[in-house]
Structure 1
């Protein structure tokens, strides 16, 4: 039996590679998903190369530089291609460095919430009993409150800062991953291959690591992709209503600073960062929907 293990492992590796290739081809051949991926690549490129696109001339690059002699300048002004805000902030600088702020927010919140949700959902699904009931009742309480209202309340309690917005989103967004993970464990552990592994004497940990966790990762990956866009949308909303520091290069802050000028025709300070928020959320939703269709075997015959 030991002599066949490398062959079985190699075959399993080939199956995984072939499946990954099929998923990638499915994503690239879907026009809307491909469009979302292109937008994400452009936005990520802008975030990564922000220091080269808009070199900061202040100690903190996330603080908007102010030019009080060039306030309310329209797009096309020399030195300010996208115009300036009422406070003399360069809109292009805020848009470019705001992409880095949004990327930082999304990655931190998604990483933290996935880890917390997967751990709690795994404990609930594997241990069961009163521990499962207690954890799921906590999850139900969290899920009963709308995400935006919950995040708004937590951020208001913590105080206005960009860091506190990230912390409030981490507190709010982990519950859906716990619910998904628990549901997947309950579903997968009833499958024939898990029952067979249990009969053959495999430990609970090995079954979880080898059979349950890889198969439960699909809905987690889809939800994480969708949340990459949703988190920026909720975070920008909290910044817009004043729960972040004023003057930082963040899209929600820029929209908030520019809203006063919309009625008098100074549309650019809010429009350009608002467009970036829209593109970010749209792109990750397009890719998330495409990833769900590509990874869900029930949709294979429909593609």
Structure 2
């Protein structure tokens, strides 16, 4: 079998010729984008994501940074529990004089930073371990999957609390705690996909023409196994912020950190006494962030995985 025929049988392989391959990928991307944008829910999710990401990126322009640490909310001890509409504090203040608007705006930046770091680390770790297990198989697969089972057997929140509490209250430790837990699902997803993909005929054809195992993995198996990981990562962008907000709410973030879960924690005592604004505004931001990525992730799944339609 010629290399041309071999490439023709790979679903996601680039055609012969660099520029032709780039044009093919660009055309395929435009087709997928057009299909995704036909769904109103996907568009709503994308709009929410773009709005929140824009707010996070433009945080220094919206709210002047609090030096020396812009991620710490500024305190105004003359305005404690000030209601929304107070001059200088449009969304009110917390029980410690923290500006709620500052916490909301810079909290978006904190959440964006958290989500990208955690998702990037968990995807890389999970794909590496799952790929080794699925591609090599045998005893290697058994050992690695038993390790994954151990992590999955412990309730996520309890293990995260234990790790974060052991390391101490800090935003960095929250990232570590969530990363330690999050890679397992990606390892399982990519392993299952690789086991399925390596049974296809184009993989056998690559072996016949003498491709190395590494080339087969990089050119044939990984590109045709990664789609579910992309969808799962998009959905986790929303879930990881909720999880981090939960840990912050339980007191595992630095005091005064501009983070939505931290704001909900500071405002919880005021809800029953009528000081509703702190927890309400921060909780609304967590909801919108999660909703945006869930809607967009569902639309992306429908486009990239036709088998999911109608479920």
Q: What's the TM-score, normalizing by structure 2?
A: 0.92
Q: What's the CA shift for 1:293?
A: 0.4
Q: 1:3 to 1:238 in 2, by over 3 A?
A: closer
Q: What's the CA shift for 1:11?
A: 5.1
Pick from 144, 148, 160: which aligns with 1:139?
148
Structure 2 counterpart of 1:22: 31
Distance 2:225 2:51 in 1: 30
Q: What's the CA shift for 1:47?
A: 0.4
Distance 2:47 2:87 in 1: 30
Q: 1:41 to 1:138 in 2, by over 3 A?
A: same
Cα contact 2:66–2:72 (8 A) shared by 1: no
Structure 1 counterpart of 2:158: 149
| Runs of 4+ displaced beyond 3 Å | 1-7, 9-15
For 1:56, what is the secondary structure of its paired residue?
Answer: coil
Q: 1:257 to 1:199 in 2, by over 3 A?
A: same
CA offsets per residue over residues 97-124 of structure 1, 9 Å max, x none?
0001001110110111111111111111
Instruction: Please identify, of 143-152 and 243-252, the stretch whose mean Cα deviation from structure 2 is larger.
Output: 143-152
CA offsets per residue over residues 187-234 of structure 1, 9 Å max, x none?
000011111111221111111000111111111100110110000000
1:237 counterpart = 2:246:
yes
Cα contact 2:131–2:190 (8 A) shared by 1: yes
1:190 counterpart = 2:199:
yes
For 2:207, what is the secondary structure of its paired residue?
Answer: helix
CA offsets per residue over residues 25-72 of structure 1, 9 Å max, x none?
122111001000000000000000100100124211001100010011
Distance 2:205 2:155 in 1: 41
CA offsets per residue over residues 239-270 of structure 1, 9 Å max, x none?
00101111110111100000110011000011
How large is the RMSD of aligned CA atoms in angstroms? 2.0
Pick from 92, 96, 118: which aligns with 1:87?
96
For 1:214, what is the secondary structure of its paired residue?
Answer: coil
Structure 2 counterpart of 1:127: 136
Give 1 or 2: higher helix fraction. 1
Structure 2 counterpart of 1:8: 16
1:53 counterpart = 2:53:
no
The answer for unaligned runs of 5 or more in structure 2 is 8-13
Cα contact 2:66–2:73 (8 A) shared by 1: no
Structure 2 counterpart of 1:290: 299
Q: What's the TM-score, normalizing by structure 1?
A: 0.95
Structure 2 counterpart of 1:271: 280
Distance 2:176 2:233 in 1: 17
For 1:215, what is the secondary structure of its paired residue?
Answer: coil
Pick from 229, 237, 246: which aligns with 1:228?
237
Structure 2 counterpart of 1:216: 225
Q: 1:56 to 1:209 in 2, by over 3 A?
A: same
Pick from 69, 80, 87: which aligns with 1:78?
87
Distance 2:211 2:88 in 1: 67
For 1:248, what is the secondary structure of its paired residue?
Answer: coil
Distance 2:15 2:73 in 1: 58
Instruction: Please identify, of 212-221 and 92-101, the stretch whose mean Cα deviation from structure 2 is larger.
Output: 212-221
